Structure 1
Amino acid sequence: MLKGFLTVGGWTMLSRILGLVRDQLLAAFMGAGPMQDAYQVAFRLPNMFRRLFGEGAFNAAFVPLFSAELTTEGDDTARTMARQVFGVLLTWLVILCVLGEIFMPAVLRVIAPGFAENGEQYELAVSLSRITFPYLVLICAAALVSGVLNGLHRFSMAAAAYLSFNVVGIAAVLFATPFFPDVAHTAAWGVTASGFVQLGLLMYAARKAGFDLTPLPPRITPKIRQLGRRMLPGLIGSGVTQINLTIDTIIATLLPAGSVSLMYFADRLNQLPLGVLGAAAGTTLLPVLTRHLASDDIDSAHAAQNRAMDYVLMLTLPSMAGLLVLGTPIMQVLFAHGSFSLLDAALSAQSLRAYALGLPAFVLAKVLAPAFFARGDTSTPVKIGFFTLMINLILNLLLMKPLAHVGPPLASSLAAILNVSILGALLIRRDALRPEPAMLRRIALMGLAASVMALALLGLNSLLILPASHVTFWLAILLSCEVPMGGLLYLLSLHLFGVLDLANALDGLKRRLNRKRGRI
């Protein structure tokens, strides 16, 4: 499982880094204002489908079903089932897309009610949303093909294909902008174009793996009914984080202009560790749990669950601490260019810190949800999801006025903490999660090591005075020293606390590198 985790995590990390480059271009060209807000709302709707399907409900329902079919019935039966699902899925998505294109003005009044007061911004958001909306057809179809590849334990291509979203987006902004009315329209067309590239790459990888996934005419079979029963509730259960973020966006459109943009760029940085660790752990854990449970190997299933929690928290806790302490200089170095000012970056960093408070909960939800899905239970996460959605909405309404652009992110973090607490408690009560005392002790020591790192960085920052001119340059120099220093201090703390043996870890890394050289 660790190999799959590292494979998916590595490709996802590269994708997130390219995503930061893409976001830097968007910030530099559009700043934080009405045009950026309109584009981000237009992108939010298909992007929510991408996260729900690619990283959520569809993947959670389809992968166990496909893996079980592959194990018990063989390749041919599993391939036929996947092609049948593909035909039904495409039919439903195309109908949904057509309806969305027709009724987009009404949809925008729901997801961006604040734009209705500004006619020009509202019309721009409608136009951009109609351009980006077909992306949901392409990316949800890509999620199915990616699920097949994950079920075949071919994680590399499934993760690598998503790089094309950012590669195409960067190329569009840099080279195609002169051919469109503005950067927002260019970026919107780049979103849809990337969907064709992603789906094409994944279809090629599936065919190369011996799985031709040409969709069959839509027909509702017993397996598809079973998939639907598992998937539809899971749209809420596994997608609580994304729906909470969408609620944040709805609330942000009612705040001063630029609030959507400030929260978007903060969320994008928060998504770097969340996407890399949460998506990687959830993607690789689900088929492993399904296989252990199918063979009635309960002890191995619990061990895999605990290892996944250990892996992600070892990296998530220092990430949270680093974002809390270094959030402002990071945002200023990354985004304070062109139309995006130093003040915009500092305000966005306030939202980032609010998101970072819930980062461990966001990631753990990705690790705990597969424990329900692998056992065929999607109703429980739905019930929890509805409850936390209600709490998130209440918190948003309470915090939006006094905290402005910080209110919705803080509400999402608090809702995520509540969500993961309930998920964990129910799994423990059902004996589907057995957190060992040794693991809990390790997690506590990881938190202590992350605190030591944060306090050291905070103390160092309080002693430094940067020159008034070329602030962004000096911040970049400072971060290039502080980030590796903080990482090294965290690793040393883990070593001193007995959580990690650095000598053994380095030996293991050397052996892995030597094996790779031997294969080359």
Structure 2
Amino acid sequence: MSLARKFATVASGTLMSRVLGFVREMLMAAALGTGPIADAFNAAFQFPNTFRRLFAEGAFNAAFVPLFAKEIEAGGVDGARRFSEEVFGVLFTTLLVLTIAMELSMPLLVSTIVAPGFTDEPQKYDLTVRLATIMFPYLMCMSLAAMMAGMLNSLRRYFAAAIAPAFLNIILIAVLGYAWHEGLDWLEIGHALAWGVLVAGVVQLAIVWIALLHAGVRISFRLPRLTPNVKRLLVLAFPAAITGGITQINQLIGTAIASGKDSAVSSLAYADRVYQLPLGVVGIAVAIVLLPELSRALRAGDLKEAANLQNRSVEFTLFLTLPAAAALLVISEPIVRLLYERGAFAATNGTPTVSAILAIFGLGLPAFVLIKAFTPGYFAREDTRTPMIFAAISVAVNISTALALFPTMGGAGIATASAIAGWVNAGMLLAVLIRRGQWGRDTGLMKRIPKLIVASAIMAAALWAASRYFSDSLAPGVPFYEQAVVLGGMITAGMMIYFGVVFAIGGADIGMVRRSIRRSGKAMPADGND
């Protein structure tokens, strides 16, 4: 299977999840707005959801996939299955103990880590504790599902692992639809959503488990033992989880700081949903597919292919994320108004705040995606320590900047801190790869990057002018369908301008696109069941 089809398989599942996520957030915004129930749910959900992203979106794979792939080569599928059973026994036991401990200490966790600012509001604090207690077992389901997804990715069966996350949004949309039909109040909606998150975790775990059975791999529980392979995994897994989930860790920190102001937590969550679309579709797809491909190239001693994979992945991500970032910067307000400004959200006048946060997140988007493209260069070489150090530096930058800016800028200050920390992290990752000679200089890539920036800037200028020209059709109170038609037309025209300019000035060509998404011929053929 070509790299294009692998990117597309993962990206299509992620795109479905992100689009459904938009629908979910639109319904939540209409039902809860940016009020106290929305703040409590988003803060409570951020805690297990951070761990979901740490594991399910590539971080666990960063440690597990190279070792699992080695076992496939050394002992075949049976040897890899035995290794996975050893890991499963340790992981299941550890997660069970962790879940019990977290459930018992949830009041302390909420008051110190999740939302310390809520302690001044007893009702909001108590609700956050209850919702977090209901949702935390979701972590156990998703961690086990992440391990099975890593196995599927190593076997080149990408679809089930990519499609499973969509069921979280499907279930929560169903819960919100039921709440609307039954006329539930805000508090009842908050509790119903929390139970929906837990059910979604069970469903997603079932999906990847069934996919593994179809792949001919059955995992049996073994008593936990620290075998040499498991010890090696643990040595790699912790720093890999910290590194792979640095964006999510920074978001968790941002949520804790934002809990000091009303509506800040939910405003950040609504903005996060929008910029997660390009981040998820491009960045996560590249990270998931690039790691096993890069690992195979390095094990085969094919350094030229490894360098080609890295450069083409960066080229591909910038080709798609630079225009997305530019669009978020200049038309964030009409995007937020179209998606969210109705019901309780309109009553709380959340559009200016959320759109300002979204525009700043847009500035950090290329960095967040580049981190996903750079870290496989370390993980494929089983170096998880170096990027963990960079992640720690990034967290320090994020915390210090957020604390400095939040008192005056509110949620926008937290978004600014996150964007700055992202660029610091991406810059350090690239610099050390170059210094070690593990990133081959690519003349074509270096020539194209400035042209991609120019094309994105021209598109942004056109979108800004169009937003001014059609301001009456994008104003508050304009019917949804009119806003949707105008904004959809602007985005379509912006895409045409970007692609037209970028091809005209040589920032991209058909050959470059094909090379960016085509895998060279030495990798094993796919089995046709992806």
TM-score range, shorter chain: over 0.9
Equivalent position amino acid for 1:81 in 2: F
Equivalent of 1:194 in 188, 197, 200: 200
Shift of 1:494: 1.4
Higher RCO (C-alpha under 8 Å, 6+ residues apart): 2
Q: TM-score under structure 1 normalisation? A: 0.95
Contact 1:23/1:265 (<8 A) preserved: yes
- Distance in 2, matches of 1:470 and 1:119, equals 36
Q: Does 1:173 align with 2:176?
A: yes
User: CA deviation digits over 1:366-416, x for unaligned, max 9?
Assistant: 110111000010110111111111111110111001111100011000000
- Distance in 1, matches of 2:8 and 2:33, equals 35
Give the match for residue 489 of structure 2: 481
Q: Does 1:232 align with 2:271?
A: no
- Distance in 2, matches of 1:57 and 1:96, equals 19
Q: Does 1:147 align with 2:150?
A: yes
Equivalent of 1:309 in 296, 304, 314: 314
Aligned-partner SS, 1:341: helix
Which deviates further from its counterpart, 334-343 or 86-95?
334-343
Aligned-partner SS, 2:156: coil
Give the match for residue 525 of structure 2: none
Give the match for residue 515 of structure 1: none
Shift of 1:214: 2.8
- Distance in 2, matches of 1:271 and 1:277, equals 10
Give the match for residue 513 of structure 1: none
Equivalent position amino acid for 1:140 in 2: S
Equivalent of 2:415 in 409, 425, 428: 409
How do 1:356-435 and structure 2 match up within 5 A?
Answer: 356-435=362-441
Give the match for residue 8 of structure 1: 10
Shift of 1:176: 5.7
Equivalent of 2:221 in 192, 215, 219: 215
Q: TM-score under structure 2 normalisation? A: 0.93
Alignment CA distance shift 1:503-1:100 (3 Å): closer
Q: Does 1:39 align with 2:44?
A: no
Shift of 1:434: 1.6
Q: Unpaired runs of 5+ in structure 2?
A: 518-530
Shift of 1:184: 0.7
Quote the RMSD (CA, aligned, Å): 1.9
User: CA deviation digits over 1:410-436, x for unaligned, max 9?
Assistant: 100000000000000000001111231
Give the match for residue 498 of structure 1: 506
Which deviates further from its counterpart, 496-505 or 20-29?
496-505
Alignment CA distance shift 1:125-1:434 (3 Å): same
Shift of 1:57: 2.9
- Distance in 2, matches of 1:48 and 1:462, equals 38
Give the match for residue 293 of structure 1: 298
Equivalent position amino acid for 1:36 in 2: A
Shift of 1:83: 1.4
Give the match for residue 351 of structure 1: 357
Give the match for residue 118 of structure 1: 121
Alignment CA distance shift 1:151-1:328 (3 Å): same
User: CA deviation digits over 1:193-242, x for unaligned, max 9?
Assistant: 00111010110000000011233221111100000000112222222111
Equivalent position amino acid for 2:242 in 1: I
Shift of 1:490: 0.6
- Distance in 1, matches of 2:405 and 2:476, equals 36
Give the match for residue 160 of structure 1: 163
Equivalent position amino acid for 1:392 in 2: N
How do 1:197-276 and structure 2 match up within 5 A?
Answer: 197-255=203-261, 257-276=262-281
Shift of 1:465: 3.9
Aligned-partner SS, 1:471: coil
- Distance in 1, matches of 2:81 and 2:360, equals 45
Q: Does 1:336 align with 2:338?
A: no
Shift of 1:332: 0.5
Equivalent position amino acid for 1:253 in 2: S
Contact 2:297/2:303 (<8 A) preserved: yes
- Distance in 2, matches of 1:2 and 1:464, equals 37
Contact 1:57/1:232 (<8 A) preserved: no
Contact 1:336/1:472 (<8 A) preserved: no
- Distance in 2, matches of 1:269 and 1:472, equals 21
- Distance in 1, matches of 2:470 and 2:178, equals 41
Aligned-partner SS, 1:500: coil
Which deviates further from its counterpart, 441-450 or 409-418?
441-450
User: CA deviation digits over 1:15-55, x for unaligned, max 9?
Assistant: 10001111111111111011100000110011010111112
Alignment CA distance shift 1:503-1:79 (3 Å): closer
Shift of 1:118: 0.2
- Distance in 1, matches of 2:179 and 2:351, equals 27
Shift of 1:329: 0.4
User: CA deviation digits over 1:429-456, x for unaligned, max 9?
Assistant: 0111123121111121111111110011
Equivalent position amino acid for 2:224 in 1: P
Give the match for residue 188 of structure 2: 182
Contact 2:286/2:313 (<8 A) preserved: yes
Contact 1:237/1:380 (<8 A) preserved: no
- Distance in 2, matches of 1:7 and 1:472, equals 36
Equivalent position amino acid for 2:302 in 1: D
Contact 2:448/2:508 (<8 A) preserved: no
Equivalent of 2:106 in 104, 107, 117: 104
Shift of 1:461: 2.0
Contact 2:58/2:284 (<8 A) preserved: no
Contact 1:333/1:472 (<8 A) preserved: no
- Distance in 1, matches of 2:256 and 2:342, equals 27
Equivalent of 1:277 in 282, 299, 323: 282
- Distance in 2, matches of 1:241 and 1:463, equals 36
Shift of 1:502: 5.8
Equivalent position amino acid for 2:234 in 1: G
Count of residues paired in the alignment: 508
Give the match for residue 65 of structure 2: 63
- Distance in 2, matches of 1:274 and 1:504, equals 22
How do 1:459-474 and structure 2 match up within 5 A?
Answer: 459-466=465-472, 470-473=477-480, 474=482
User: CA deviation digits over 1:268-297, x for unaligned, max 9?
Assistant: 101110111111000000000100001111
- Distance in 1, matches of 2:31 and 2:121, equals 22
- Distance in 1, matches of 2:463 and 2:175, equals 38
% identical aligned pairs = 39
Give the match for residue 18 of structure 1: 20
Give the match for residue 29 of structure 1: 31
Equivalent position amino acid for 1:470 in 2: G
- Distance in 2, matches of 1:254 and 1:389, equals 19
- Distance in 1, matches of 2:456 and 2:343, equals 34
User: CA deviation digits over 1:299-350, x for unaligned, max 9?
Assistant: 1001001111111111000100111111100011001111011731221010
Contact 1:494/1:500 (<8 A) preserved: yes
- Distance in 2, matches of 1:14 and 1:151, equals 22
